[in-house]
Amino acid sequence: MEQGRDIDLLAFGDPVADLMLQAAQLPPPGGKTLGRALGIRAGGTTANVACAIARQGMRAAAFGRTGDDAHAPLLRASFAEHGVNQTYLSTLADTPSASAIAVLAPSGEKSIIYMPMPGRLLESGGLTQALRRARLVYAMPYDLDEFELLCGLARQAGARVAIDLEAAVAPDPLAMRRRAALADIVFFNEAGFEAGTGVPPSLPAMRELLALGPEEVVVSCGAAGAMAVSHGDEMRQPAFPARVVDTTGAGDCFNAAYLAARLDGRPLPHALRCACAAASLAIGAVGARGALPDRDQVDALLAAGRTPATDN
């Protein structure tokens, strides 16, 4: 353990109550379609990563807020179930918790409508103390001004920064570059990479992003696998065979498993294989946390050696 740091990953962001629905298709504007309710489950991108990395044996903490509504106990109970430290999780009175409506297609792919909490998370107390305890802070930086302040505090505290740049977070090259330049590790999914760069993901295109400042760039491409680059290494990794039930949270699980391996001192190629293996296991049940694997499950899948790795 690094001196004085008892949190491996600090998840910066509010947990989210996912209202899960299933429908054959989304209705057109002004239209209607039949569906069925799948329940309300704890979610939220950074919260999912905290739970997933805790399942990998790392020490995770959440820096965020809930409201005082009926969803708050569910969100806190899920953190407790996964062993996530809630010291820095605060409650806003007379406020609904963040929520999302996730509509699953028969293929397991989902569409999401997100309703965030009001106000700025950075205004919550205890962030500097939390960052001083953390080896790494993980964020989804919708608010650039808030993210710049977070990164400044993280640097002062000696914590590294990892971010997830989906298309909704960085919908154009300028937005992507301004955020990637502040981070140590940058994750994209395929759509996020294309939105942020204007080109499909490839190792050469990913290497160009290292010039912005990050130490590592990682792109998950669903059934096509994933790629990662650093200043000294690069890797393509095919996806593992999987039965798709629900892809909600698969990218969060992927990112968490990659970070767990890197925080554990494992090389980039091994971390990418762990990430792909974990994601293939996570999509086997409904909900972002319905099938989060532990480290033994990931190691067992890797030991089975069912997919080849490609180094170039």
27: in domain: no
Per-residue pLDDT tens over the stretch 270-287: 999 999 999 999 988 777
* Total residues found in the chain within this entry: 312
Contact 161, 134 (CB under 8 A): no
Picking from 309, 274, 268, 312, the residue whose alpha carbon sits closest to that of residue 293 is: 274
- Residue 187 within a domain: yes
3-state DSSP assignment of residue 58: coil
SS3 302: helix
Which residues make beta-bridge pairs with 39? 20
What confidence tier does 169 reach under pLDDT thresholds 50, 70, 90? Answer: very high
Does residue 20 sit within a domain? no
43, 16 contact by CB (below 8 A): yes
DSSP conformation class of 224 = G
Q: Which residues of 3-14 are buried (b: 16+ CB within 10 A; e: fewer)?
A: eebebbbbbbbb
The Cα–Cα gap between 45 and 63 comes to 13
Identify the band that residue 311 occupies on the pLDDT scale cut at 50, 70 and 90: very low
Q: Residue 219 in contact with residue 205, Cβ under 8 Å? A: no
Determine what percent of the chain is predicted with pLDDT higher than 90: 77
What's the rounded Cα separation, in Å, for the pair 250 and 268?
20
Domain of 230 in residue numbering reads as 7-15+43-97+121-304
Q: pLDDT tens across 46-94, in order?
A: 999 999 999 999 999 999 999 999 999 999 999 999 999 999 999 999 9
Looking up residue 169, the CATH number of its domain turns out to be 3.40.1190.20
Q: Give domain status of residue 104, yes or no.
A: no
Neighbours of 80 (CB within 10 A): 11
Structurally, the chain folds into a number of domains equal to: 1
Question: Quick check: is 35 in a domain?
Answer: no
Q: 11 lies in a domain?
A: yes
pLDDT bin (cut points 50, 70, 90) of residue 187 is very high
Contact 227/218 with Cβ under 8 angstroms?
A: yes
Mean pLDDT of the chain: 92
Q: Which of 23, 69, 70, 71 is nearest to 47 (CA)?
A: 71
Residue 37 lies in a domain: no
What residue type is assigned to position 71 of the chain?
H
Q: How far apart are CA 110 and CA 143, in angstroms?
A: 24
Closest by CA position to 146, among listed 256, 251, 45, 63: 63
User: Using CA atoms, how far apart are residues 139 and 12, in angstroms rounded to an integer?
Assistant: 5
The pTM score is 0.91
**300 occurs within a structural domain:** yes
